[in-house]
Amino acid sequence: MLTLRAPAKINLSLRVLRRREDGFHDIESLMCPLELADEIDLDCAGPAAGGATDTPGVEFSCDDASLPSDGSNLAVRATVLFLRRAGLEGKHGVRVALRKRVPHGAGLGGGSSDAASVLLGLNALFSTNLKLDALTALAAELGSDVPLFLHRSAAICRGRGERVEPLKFPARLPLLLLKPAFGVPTPWAYGRWRHAREIPGVSYAPQPFGWGELVNDLERPVFEKYLLLAAMKEWLLEQKETVAGALLSGSGATVLAVLRDGASASTAEELARRAQTHFGTDFWSCHTHTVAPS
């Protein structure tokens, strides 16, 4: 059995360049993996394995009952795709046990990371020795963000997200993540990008740092509909003694705060408590860091 970590990610920058003829959008984004991660157990099973997934060859379980456990789940889809393309379908089955720590609908790439981890894990479990290019082709079939997580490093992502240029991000950023109970559909956010307008009084300007800048072109469409997310970002930016910058991550619904150097876990917890006092308690919060450069 293999136990894998499937890290979340944040978009420190996200520029939407144009809508493509295939309906996707060309982007350029700096994405960083986080210490926050799901955990996945992979093990061999009989070729007729099945179960809650109703997918032959795959037994899937998850400690989050709100996630689908059928063939629409990205981890299940990754398993089915790998077995088929590696010539193992009908010969081997797989048990997948997911312990969910990254909320879904959060703009943190949890499902995409789960799928990439499954591809990497199955390649090791069955000693199929597929090269990175072959795994990347499979990942791109599953979703635009999935190829990023094969690299386990920060990267500039282009195209619809599938063109990944790994890089050594020069910092281990302390972060506070805040997510309300709702999610934001990614296709909807991109679909509204072209015609969305800025809300007066909300800051959309790039926020400069030594490593680059915080900026997100999807804040315009998302903030137009989800005013709470705009209010959360503005409130975080007002906490200048603790917060160095704030941004919507991806299409949301997570708003991230880059904490000032030296911020402790207790500092982040206090900031989260103050946010709860201001906005109510119906949201998820997490103190984490970007993965340290190696």
Q: What is the predicted pLDDT for the residue at 241?
A: 94
Alpha-carbon gap, residue 59 to 94, rounded angstroms:
6
How many other C-beta atoms are found inside a 10 Å radius of the C-beta of residue 289?
A: 15
Alpha-carbon gap, residue 166 to 183, rounded angstroms:
28
Task: Please state the pTM of the whole predicted model.
Answer: 0.91
Residue 217: active-site member: no
Q: Which helix (H) or strand (E) holds 37?
A: strand 25-45
Q: What is the predicted pLDDT for the residue at 262?
A: 82
Alpha-carbon gap, residue 99 to 84, rounded angstroms:
25
- Structural domains in the chain plus CATH codes: 2-166 (3.30.230.10), 174-289 (3.30.70.890)
Q: What is the predicted pLDDT for the residue at 294?
A: 63
The catalytic residue among 38, 114, 145, 217 is 145
Residue 179: active-site member: no
pLDDT along the chain (294 residues), means of 10: 96 94 91 97 79 73 88 93 93 94 91 97 96 95 93 93 91 95 92 94 96 97 96 97 96 95 90 92 92 76
Q: What is the predicted pLDDT for the residue at 189?
A: 94
Q: Which residues contact 113 (CB under 8 A, 6 or more apart)?
A: 6, 7, 8, 9, 37, 38, 102, 149
